[in-house]
Chain A
Amino acid sequence: MKIQGRAHLLGDFLNTDMHFTNKYKYEGKGVEFLAQHVLEDIDPHYPNRIQSGDILVGGTNFGATSTREQAVKVMRRLAIGAVLAKSFSRLFYRNALNNGLPAFQCDTSDIKNGDSVEIDTASGEIVVAEGRQIIQVRPLPPLLQALVSSGELLSFVKAHPDWR
């Protein structure tokens, strides 16, 4: 499967509470509402700057301190194509793969905001800015590629109760 999108850079130390508006966390707001308010604590105009298909690019420990699936669900609602980061917090990584958001760990230092990013999930090859940089990641095993494609862990498990 090929994922294509525009790189949208987030910095180091951004955790999903900040990403997706901590102040609404306990109000039981739906994913629709949260998507409209994404990152507004940083920049009130942020919700308008993320475009469908964007590839989020983060630094170290991306997704830290958030144990909630909401952040990933909001990213999916915004049709974010994938997340690239130097490293992920273990909870965010699992939430991503369990909720259909492809996530890849790689050195993102040389990716610039707005670069085109093309990810071949079968080979693990990531082409940045039409070839200015090629990053090779270890592709997910086919089982996990299928999990991510299914979009949701429990749907996947219902369809494949023996994990095949």
Chain B
Amino acid sequence: GICHNLMTERGHAAPGKLVVGTDSHSITYGALNCFATGIESSELVAILVTSRLWFRVPETIRIELKGTLQPGVTAKDITLHVIERLGEDGIAYRAIEYSGDGLATLEMDARFTLCNHAAELGAKAAVMPYDDKTEAWLAGRVRGPHDSVSADPEALYEKTMEFNLSSLDPRISLPSKIDQVAPVSEAGGKNVDMAFIGSCTNGRLDDLETAAKILAGKRVADGTRLLVNPGTRAVYLQALEAGIIRTLTEAGALVLPAGCGSCVGMNRQYVPANGEVILSSANRNLQGRLGNPNADIYVASPATVAASALTGRITDPREFLTGASELKQ
């Protein structure tokens, strides 16, 4: 499976720790109340030899989340709103500290998505508080002692920003810059040739669950290929147990082995053809990322991807997810 998803699944990241990985999306683990960041291979060698590394302590920007997500709006839509507002690399070399009542309403899968996509803001780390959801996630996964961390009351922030989750709508990132974001409702109508659900941003159980809810008993549109790469083997098996893989398969989705897959063009047998439009649940839409520079990549939530795979065109998922019960975790 995907390294970042395994790091958090298998208890390698724990509260209060300093965790690094040789990829920018190592920032994901901050959802578990630790400081997690990406480093270079040579730096990893230095750590293997000495167990230490130097760091410049970044300034911190506090992002406060209020309210609750409305039906059809997901953590990925939060990240796209943030990226739209701040721009790609808009928080370059800062640490983000997430907080707020809105954050408390988000399950761990959603929190991993939020921290993961902070990489595209250029952030050094994205730290979340420790609460009962963090504790529940860690139970049975982490060995050894760990101490949660929280901000000092007198901590200084470079800036504090607020996002009201209740007012957010599904968003989509247009080719080929991640901060070219528009409401899905305004970008709708474009034919989708290839739809992808997966990646370290959105390859978790809740993402597959959401897609299954939208596709249950229905068929992916003719002319649209829906590829699904569960993030890890454990998620794949859980999805199998829960009937999600069956639902997706019966709907015509191509369910592939756990891994990065089409996020970064690793499904070599499914490279898009010239002129095709791809809608991906991953984190980046740079030209050529899926293996063909002559194909445009849009990025959105798994809900938007599933809804669009169903109709064959970019579609607002709220057409299919109208009640809060449908997004029950």
The number of chain A residues touching the other chain, given as a range, is 20 to 34
Q: Which residues of B contact A89 (CB under 8 A)?
A: 89, 92-93, 122
Q: Which of A71-109 contact B (CB under 8 A)?
A: 87-91, 93-95, 97-98
B40 touches A98 (CB 8 A): yes
A135 and B52 CA atoms in complex are apart in Å by 32
Q: Which residues of B contact A162 (CB under 8 A)?
A: 50
B89 contact from A61, A69, A98, A157, Cβ within 8 A: A61
A144 touches B49 (CB 8 A): no
| Cβ distance B231 to chain A, nearest Cβ, rounded Å | 22
B46 within 8 A of A: yes
- Chain B residues touching A, majority SS: loop
For the complex with contacts A65-B89, A67-B40, A89-B93, 10 further pairs of A-B residues with Cβ separation under 8 Å are: A69-B42, A89-B89, A89-B92, A90-B37, A90-B93, A91-B24, A91-B40, A147-B54, A154-B45, A157-B45
Which residues on A are within 8 Å of B, measured CB to CB?
60-61, 64-65, 67, 69, 87-91, 93-95, 97-98, 143-144, 147, 153-154, 157, 161-163
Q: Which residues of A contact B50 (CB under 8 A)?
A: 157, 161-163
Q: Which of B89-137 contact A (CB under 8 A)?
A: 89, 92-93, 122, 124
Can you offer 22 A-B residue contacts whose CB atoms are under 8 A?
Answer: A61-B89, A64-B122, A65-B89, A88-B92, A89-B93, A90-B58, A90-B93, A90-B124, A91-B38, A91-B40, A94-B39, A94-B43, A97-B54, A98-B43, A153-B42, A153-B43, A154-B42, A154-B46, A157-B45, A157-B46, A161-B49, A163-B50
| Cβ distance A89 to chain B, nearest Cβ, rounded Å | 6
Closest to A162 in B: B50
B92 touches A153 (CB 8 A): no
B93 touches A88 (CB 8 A): yes
Closest to A141 in B: B54
A45 and B92 CA atoms in complex are apart in Å by 32
| 7 closest A-B pairs by CB | A90-B93, A157-B46, A61-B92, A90-B124, A61-B89, A64-B89, A153-B42
